[in-house]
Structure 1
Amino acid sequence: MIQVCLLKDGKLLTGGEELLGHEGRKWVDVQQPTEEKMALLTERFGLHKLAVEDCLHLDQRPKLEEYPNHQFIVLQGFTVAGKDVCELTLHEHHFFLAHDWIISVHEFPFAGLDQVKKRVMDDPRATLERGTDFVLYMLADGLVDAQFPLLDTFSDELEDLEAAIFERVEKSHLQRIFELKRTLVMVRRVLSPQRDVVGLLSRRGIVHIHDKTTLYFRDVYDHLVRLYEQIDASRDIVGNVMDGYLSMVANKTNDITKQLTIFSTLFLPLSFIVGFFGQNFEALSSKGNYYAMWVMIIGFPVGLILWFKHKQWL
């Protein structure tokens, strides 16, 4: 699907492939790119074949590349596929930027991109008329801002997991910790190089990026720095949660060992007493010895329990 927003003589026209041949400032959005779609755009806008090849293989690293008549930018982001914060969908967006046109290529629908479309259609003079680089800024900003709710949900999950571990530790907690850790590593691996790309866009001297637009890219760069700091904080929390889990498991093991040791200590003198008075000696069969045996059987455990409490072992 190819959608075109064309600004011509102050009027915004929207439609499909029939607007590609018209003159004016354009934003072309391509969802689910195919060789046929990209060949059509390559013929019309002179896209470089290496950049087009990258668009057809959605496994690129965030980057900024300069070609003879356009810039090629790759940015990425995540959305949560379901209720589980670890079920992430990677959104890889490719952008071709020139002076009078911008082409955005992506595989999946994205809410932030739809919001930018609505903003352009509602007020084309304040968006598309300001330049194609400003449209790129809005798309990058929407992609980056969508990560804040995701990381907030991630932090809430870690806090709930930490509270659950200290309340009652379970084996399933360890598996969840590793799932969150893997997800956090994946997010960090994507957003880390993206910070460098936006940092380049925020500098002056980049072709097709006006000096006034670099100020807006600085804001996106600041958001990425905040995201990166939040990721580092979450990594520390994951480490604390893991330490808490191991501590609770060790304490539980020590508590079980202590209880078993106490039971063994209580039954050790009882075994001696029963074995001693159970010997086949005629002198021990008197009634007094019978009562003495039961007094020792009851007295020894009670005395040991009182002694354990005195030592604060119980």
Structure 2
Amino acid sequence: MFRILEIGTDGLVVTHQGKEHIAPPPEGFIRWVDVTAQDEAQLEVLRTGFQFHPLALEDCAHFDQRPKVEEYGSYLFIVTQGFVVEGGSVENLKILELHTFLGSNYLVTVHSEGIDALDAVWKRAVGDGLLMRRGADFLYYLIADRLVDGNFPILDLVTEELESLEEEVLSEPQRENLSRIFELKQQLVCMRKVLSPQRDVLAALTRLDHPYISNRTQHYFRDVYDHLTRINESIEANRDLLSNALEAYLSSVSQRTNEIMKHLTIMSAVFLPLTFVVGFFGQNFHTLIGLPQWMESNGLMWVMIILCAIIPVVMIIWFKRRNWV
């Protein structure tokens, strides 16, 4: 689906639909063409109207590109990505990808599904002619800024979940904590793979010397670059926190295992002398040297009972004095 936003020399913002305006605007006009759910026919219309390079249009047909900026003579081809969480849960992290053609007086955006950041800028531009007058490069800045800033709430959710995980791991670690730690780590790696090269893209936009990126807009791109730097630093900090949570989990599990082994060892140590006593008095001999008819002696039976009662008590007291229990 095509939708077109345009402002002319009269300062009025006009919206169009259809294919007749899929071309660079006349002198003094600024045009924004937005394409949603693109297909081969729509990309062919873009190629015919704007004479875009086939390689750039081929990238638009497959939304699995790395953030990048490429120069094609009279325009830039920029791939920008962002993230959104569905249902307010970090588990439902979704990548948004936007392909942009930026010329001196036109902006063409291509995306496979709706992007809230782009729609918000579109609505703002419809009602504000001065915004359109600032140029196509400024429109792209507004979109990129909203896409980048949308990562801050996501990282806040990750941080909150990390803090909750740390509390659970330190109090009572569960196997579910380990799987959640690895899920969060995978999501942070995904964000880093996208936002780290995107920072390089914004850095390049602040240095490019082209007539369709004004010096004034380059200052705004530097602000977006600073935001991306903060986001990447936050991702690295959260990765460190995840590593600490993983170490805390493994340490807690190891300590718990050691405690279990300690109690089992103490029980074995207590029953070891009892086993000797019971085994000694359970010998299958009717007479022993110095103890004739010992199997029928009530006194020896009481000795065995007393030993079985006293030995565990004495050993536990000894363990406590040695701080083993």
Structure 2 partner of 1:288:
299
Secondary structure at the aligned position of 1:206 is classed as coil
Q: Which deviates further from its counterpart, 136-145 or 268-277?
A: 268-277
How far apart are the structure 2 equivalents of 1:287 and 1:122? 106
Residue 67 to residue 204, structure 1, CA distance change in 2 (3 Å): closer
Q: Which runs of 5+ in 1 are unaligned?
A: none
Q: Which deviates further from its counterpart, 276-285 or 140-149?
A: 276-285
Q: Deviations over 1:136-181 (max 9, x none)?
A: 1001101101111111111211221121112212222222222111
Structure 2 partner of 1:190:
194
Structure 2 partner of 1:88:
93
Q: Which deviates further from its counterpart, 285-294 or 304-313?
A: 285-294
Structure 1 residue 278 displacement after superposition: 2.6
Structure 1 residue 284 displacement after superposition: 5.6
Structure 1 partner of 2:312:
301
Structure 1 partner of 2:62:
57
Structure 1 partner of 2:229:
225
Larger Rg: 2
How far apart are the structure 2 equivalents of 1:96 and 1:149? 28
Letter matched to residue 2 of structure 1: F
Instruction: Check conservation: 2:80, 2:144, Cα contact below 8 A.
Output: yes
Secondary structure at the aligned position of 2:207 is classed as coil
How far apart are the structure 1 equivalents of 2:216 and 2:6? 23
Over the matched positions of the two proteins, sequence identity in percent amounts to 44
Structure 2 partner of 1:7:
7
How far apart are the structure 1 equivalents of 2:194 and 2:100? 17
Letter matched to residue 186 of structure 1: C
Secondary structure at the aligned position of 1:104 is classed as strand
TM-score by length of 2: 0.92
Secondary structure at the aligned position of 1:208 is classed as coil
Q: Which runs of 5+ in 2 are unaligned?
A: 288-292
Residue 311 to residue 104, structure 1, CA distance change in 2 (3 Å): same
Quick one: which of 120, 123, 136 aligns to 2:125?
120
Quick one: which of 244, 248, 255 aligns to 2:252?
248
Structure 1 residue 285 displacement after superposition: 3.6
TM-score by length of 1: 0.95
**Residue 147 (structure 2) pairs with residue 143 (structure 1):** yes
Letter matched to residue 307 of structure 2: M
Letter matched to residue 131 of structure 1: G
Structure 2 partner of 1:310:
321
Secondary structure at the aligned position of 1:86 is classed as helix
Structure 1 residue 97 displacement after superposition: 0.6
Structure 2 partner of 1:265:
269
Secondary structure at the aligned position of 1:78 is classed as strand
Cα RMSD (Å) of the superposition? 1.6
Secondary structure at the aligned position of 2:81 is classed as strand
